[in-house]
Structure 1
Amino acid sequence: MTLRLAQYRGADGERRVIAATADGAGFVTGVSDMRTLALHAIEQGQTLAQAVAALGTAGQVDLRAALDAGRLIAPIDHPDPAHLILSGTGLTHLGSAEGRDKMHRDAAQATHQTDSMRMFLEGVEGGKPADGAVGQQPEWFYKGNGTHLVGPDAPLEMPGFAQDGGEEPELAGIYLIGPDGAPWRLGLCLANEFSDHVTERHNYLWLAHSKLRQAALGPELLTGPAPDDVRGASRIVRDGTVLWEKPFLSGEANMSHALANLEHHHFKYPLFRAPGDVHVHFFGTATLSFSDGVRTAPGDRFEIEAAPFTLPLRNPLSRGGQAAITRVRSL
């Protein structure tokens, strides 16, 4: 039976973990947050499902009502946000190269094969290696730390200097590094890997700048084996009307890379295996409104939904104020 976990914050600020199955949802006994539950499971040599079963649950929770009341927060965090790392991989989905290739081909007015297309084709060729083999490494980027992570219904803020604030509907893997430095996947979440596509389009070498933005996680962490085929929808709502909508596909059946290959090429670096750290790693998408010529505006609402997740990820778009030039002083 599929176990879904969520983090709950009451009106008094008290934190709790919700465990949900098809039979209902309740509060996990004895733990206040997801990271504590995962550390307990590692210590006990249990899966998350086994740990929840052993700890037990209390009460009945209506997950949809809790979401609508603003009680569900991001399903993972860290007491020290500097120890939560946001990163991701691109050009990982079948069809994901089309929009990127067009963006960079148009920007360069080039007729030759772009670096994006070459990287995508290398992934198609070698992104799903045989068991035990190392596959082609993907594009990789850094998004920030825990201060860049927002939860369901919280605003995604584009900085005042940003040229665009565009959605990227994805799956994100949630990981905790155990006491011995071994990475553990806690599960998957729906995610919006929010980016600045205008900045990226100007020059591919600005990809790193375009990714230094907030990102949102859906309310549910799906435990157990990753689903092979995830299908849903991504839409933008403006002034109560759907401005843009398109199917959203993910899971390995729709990807050019295996999740295990993407995970290896992230965690092969020792600095990403520091005990106690949390990692949120975005697996990429093939669905962008920007590729269809949509320009978002503050007040727009991004909505992403996909089975087997039962709750949507919704976030309004906002813009921060213009900051003064950052001056560095000599000491």
Structure 2
Amino acid sequence: MRLIQCRHDGRLTVGLVVDAGSVQVVAAEEGVYGLARQAIAEGRPLSEVVAAALTETRLDYAALVDNGELLPPLTHPDPAHWLVTGTGLTHLGSADTRSAMHAATLVDESTLTDSMRMFRMGVEAGKPAAGEVGPQPEWFYKGDGDCVVAPEAALRSPSFAQDAGEEPELAGLYVIGDDGTPWRVGYAVGNEFSDHVTERFNYLWLAHSKLRACSYGPELLVGELPEHLEGTSRIVRDGQTLWEKPFMTGEANMAHSLANLEHHHFKYRNFRRPGDVHVHFFGTATLSFADQVRVEPGDRYEIELPALGRPLRNTLERDTESDYAAAKPL
């Protein structure tokens, strides 16, 4: 089951994806968020709640796209209660880079960089047995719901940014129950969008490089996630493909299990605040930046993961000046 959210007749609307051309409207006053809260309260699978709320109304999927009416597939009415975070150094990479990474884990511990040491910890113990806990991954904060951009909309890069690079990722979408239990609503394609020049200058600037916009969707996969997922990430300039590369995700291509990544996020009590929405990016191994591509304003990011439905597309815009005003004493 795959769901979308959109604006239809001026209202937040949920749709069940029927096929590439149409979606069936789901009766939902508070969008997917409200459906998830209902499923939690009633102790029922989300798929059952959705099936019971289906209407006879169908919408033209292409028209929603063309009219700019798509929204992220899970949102919160208050952006401050919609947290966006992620993990890095989680993916094994393509076959040739994987062998190089594994070879690097055989060298003496004292010669490893901090990044490679963390990656090695994940390779060795990131998929613990049920009931056990593996090493914690790299973790970062991106922002709250105000940093999220709808599918097909523009990702805005700040005037001080050194880079505007895509990160094709799988994202987990969650709602926190009234008792503090995190409930995974489903998965979506994500563009985690970072400043790789800033990050590469000094890894201690990773936190700065991640405070950018991001996008996920347009579809939310409800149910079982395949262990092996293959997709394509591309940059389109003036209607022509500038750069394109396949990427792999899913647990079969990761050093950590999803359960281990979730544990090390939700173990913090402040991330289990009842009613909150969490969007957590699971990492990538494929970047156009690594191939010396510089994305320019007007270019379009396209991230395609067929198992999760329609590709995620966004264009790049750059702020020409900072809107920051110096802090003033009271």
State if a TM-score over 0.5 links the two structures.
Answer: yes
- Write the distance in 2 (CA, Å) between the matches of 1:113 and 1:239: 42
Give the Å deviation of 1:325: 5.5
Say if 1:17 and 1:31, in contact at 8 Å, map to a contact too: no
Give the Å deviation of 1:59: 1.4
Give the Å deviation of 1:66: 2.3
Gaps in structure 2 of 5+ consecutive residues: 102-109
Tell me the TM-score normalised to structure 2 length: 0.92
The percentage of counterpart residues that share the same residue type is 58
Alignment match, 1:143? 142
Does residue 204 of structure 1 match 2:169?
no
Partner deviation per Cα, 1:61-85 (whole Å, 9 max, x = no partner):
3334422332211111111101110
Say if 1:20 and 1:26, in contact at 8 Å, map to a contact too: yes
Give the one of 76, 79, 97 matched to 2:77: 79
Partner deviation per Cα, 1:21-60 (whole Å, 9 max, x = no partner):
5696311124341111111111111111010122233212
State the Cα RMSD in Å: 2.1
The within-5 A match list for 1:126-165 is 126-165=125-164
- Write the distance in 2 (CA, Å) between the matches of 1:57 and 1:261: 38
The within-5 A match list for 1:27-176 is 27-95=25-93, 112-176=111-175
Give 1:184's aligned amino acid: W
Alignment match, 1:314? 313
Give 1:113's aligned amino acid: L
- Write the distance in 1 (CA, Å) between the matches of 2:286 and 2:63: 29
- Which region of structure 1 is more displaced relative to structure 2, 319-328 or 309-318? 319-328
Give the one of 5, 8, 13 matched to 2:10: 13
Gaps in structure 1 of 5+ consecutive residues: 103-110
The within-5 A match list for 1:131-280 is 131-280=130-279
Give 1:180's aligned amino acid: D
Give 2:254's aligned amino acid: M
- Write the distance in 2 (CA, Å) between the matches of 1:310 and 1:274: 31
Give 2:244's aligned amino acid: E
Give 2:38's aligned amino acid: H
- Write the distance in 1 (CA, Å) between the matches of 2:62 and 2:121: 42
Say if 1:199 and 1:56 are closer, same or farther in 2 by CA, change over 3 A.
Answer: same
Say if 2:18 and 2:24, in contact at 8 Å, map to a contact too: no
Alignment match, 1:108? none
- Write the distance in 2 (CA, Å) between the matches of 1:43 and 1:179: 9
Alignment match, 1:296? 295
Say if 1:152 and 1:219, in contact at 8 Å, map to a contact too: yes
Alignment match, 1:105? none
Find the residue that maps to 1:89 and give its secondary structure.
strand
Partner deviation per Cα, 1:119-162 (whole Å, 9 max, x = no partner):
11110111100111001110000000000001111101110000
Find the residue that maps to 1:34 and give its secondary structure.
helix
Find the residue that maps to 2:186 and give its secondary structure.
strand
Say if 2:14 and 2:28, in contact at 8 Å, map to a contact too: no
Say if 1:64 and 1:311, in contact at 8 Å, map to a contact too: no
- Write the distance in 1 (CA, Å) between the matches of 2:292 and 2:298: 18
Partner deviation per Cα, 1:202-239 (whole Å, 9 max, x = no partner):
10000000000000112100001222111110000111
- Write the distance in 1 (CA, Å) between the matches of 2:197 and 2:135: 28
Which 4+ residue blocks in structure 1 deviate beyond 4 angstroms? 21-24
Give the Å deviation of 1:112: 4.0
Say if 1:18 and 1:26, in contact at 8 Å, map to a contact too: yes
Say if 1:17 and 1:32, in contact at 8 Å, map to a contact too: no
Say if 2:70 and 2:152, in contact at 8 Å, map to a contact too: no
Say if 1:302 and 1:315, in contact at 8 Å, map to a contact too: yes
